[in-house]
Chain A
């Protein structure tokens, strides 16, 4: 096999249909959407059509959608924008310990600027503690920001309940839905979501374009100063090709959502079952029910994740790990530590995220290689040897 791509939570392969829609906007349709002549007006229409498609999926008004350059920019805009927009009301923000760095680092920055942030804990499956969340609300709280679904362990949060708590206490609710959009049906009205981030390349769209939903009436400071684009909230000439791609991708994703999800979930469950059957001493991380359909996160005890990834890469298999070596720091993944995994087990985690292009043959190929690689790395591991010696005593 050439490449077996099982890292769809990192990014996805751009759908050919999406690429086809984008190409004219990278060549002949080059007009600036802000210009008044025909080729400008036509591109304005293309941008607005894409906006309508996003609004339709989220069940909001088109005027509540802002295009950005990525999920991180959407998160930064929403969190900093709302924090500063409501700083006269209060300076307290609530988030969770398992957020994406785009949220965590933004919150840390706000702490440096005088805001107060509460990081609430999660249970062993990665679900936020709603009681702790409600208790941590103070008169100064202006914003709750909790991710819709986790990028590492796939856990889906009780978003509607969080929305209800926020509404009850008159606090705004932002959700980083970068991993959720394209996988889960979302209704911002029904779920009481005031603000939501999404990113096109997570659902077979292009990289370099995201969107932010902010409910009408919510005040937020702009993140990028300059021209009047995006209703004066996000300066910069629109990434027309990217926006068109995002619009097409979100439309396609929700057209066949249940069908794709069913196939993806079956492959994921098959993968997990096969690993359980053929490899001993593993730990499955995250909630098995409230989980993104394509996500699996398994720790292989006595081995380290990077060694595993490198060996998989040699076989053409693309996956991801929460080990320190792959996080670029000394500690393994903050998400795996937050759900209570000991360091040594977190170091041996492997995330496989299945997408719509994966096949059962690919999963079989991965399993066969995993069995061989895990066995080989364990043979090399002093921890495995000690474990066996203990067992034989």
Chain B
């Protein structure tokens, strides 16, 4: 299996590893049975993601997608961050092997969950509105490697 140089760079020197103690929102996706869990912490000020950190249990691709997606949403508005697609993450990494594409889906989902958590804490939107806005879905493990 071949990883791009960018993927190798990101799993060797992952950016923004860690946690934010007073995070505005935290999102966690995946499960240990599947072999990958991603946890994203965001700090939001004036609708802008001013800081983001992650913790990931998983393979090289899981670490690299977490790392690069934190870079991609830092400094963005929440709406911009919600626009980030898993394919953008894959492109930015210079591609991923097909069996690893689900890692980029996890990264997208982790961001959406973190932003949803922020909205919940903010308390302005109903759960239904949050689910709609953040496009939340159940993660099904049996599909993630397809």
> A residues near B, CB below 8 A?
302-304, 306-307, 310-311, 314, 323-325, 328-330, 332, 342-344, 347, 379-385
Contacts and interface: CB of A to CB of B under 8 A. Distances in A.
B35 A382 contact: no
B60 A302 contact: no
Contact of B57 (A310, A314, A332, A383): A383
A324 B60 CA distance: 12
A372 to B, nearest CB: 13
Contacts of A347: 32, 35
Contacts of B14: 380
Contacts of A342: 33
Interface stretch (B75-83, B87-95, B116-124, B137-145): B137-145
A302 B58 CA distance: 9
A195 B103 CA distance: 44
Contact of A381 (B12, B56, B59, B99): B56
B35 A380 contact: no
Given A304-B36, A330-B144, A347-B35, A380 B59 contact: no
Contacts of B61: 325
B93 to A, nearest CB: 14
Report whether over half of chain A's contact residues are helix, strand or loop; otherwise say mixed. helix
A381 B55 CA distance: 5
Given A329-B145, A379-B17, A303 B57 contact: yes
10 closest cross-chain pairs (CB), A and B = A344-B32, A306-B59, A325-B59, A347-B35, A382-B55, A382-B39, A343-B33, A381-B57, A310-B60, A330-B145
Interface in B23-40: 28, 32-39
A209 to B, nearest CB: 27
Nearest to A346: B35
Nearest to B38: A382
Given A304-B57, A382-B56, A310 B11 contact: yes
B58 A304 contact: yes
B19 A307 contact: no
A307 B60 contact: yes
B63 interface: yes
Contact of A343 (B28, B35, B55): B35
B12 A314 contact: yes
From A323, A324, A330, A347, name the one whose CB has the most chain B CB atoms within 10 angstroms: A330
Contacts of B37: 381-383
A324 B34 contact: yes
Interface of B: 3, 8, 11-12, 14, 17, 19, 28, 32-39, 55-63, 99-100, 141-142, 144-145
A307 B58 contact: yes
From B14, B32, B99, B141, name the one whose CB has the most chain A CB atoms within 10 angstroms: B32
Contacts of A303: 57
23 contacts: A302-B57, A304-B35, A304-B58, A307-B62, A307-B63, A310-B11, A311-B11, A324-B34, A324-B35, A325-B59, A325-B100, A328-B99, A329-B145, A343-B35, A347-B35, A380-B14, A380-B63, A382-B37, A382-B38, A382-B39, A382-B55, A383-B57, A385-B19
Contacts of A302: 57
Contacts of B60: 306-307, 310, 325
Nearest to B103: A325
B17 A330 contact: no
A303 to B, nearest CB: 7
A385 B55 CA distance: 9
Contacts of B28: 382
Nearest to A330: B145
A380 B55 contact: yes
Contact of A323 (B19, B59, B142): B59
A330 B35 CA distance: 9
Nearest to A310: B60
B57 to A, nearest CB: 4
Nearest to B60: A310
B59 A307 contact: yes
Nearest to A324: B35
B141 A330 contact: yes
A342 B19 CA distance: 27
Nearest to B66: A380
A311 to B, nearest CB: 8
Contacts of B145: 324, 329-330
A312 to B, nearest CB: 12
A307 B64 CA distance: 10
A323 B60 CA distance: 12
Nearest to A325: B59
B59 A304 contact: yes
A143 B58 CA distance: 41
Contacts of B33: 342-344
A323 B35 CA distance: 8
Contact of A382 (B12, B57, B99): B57
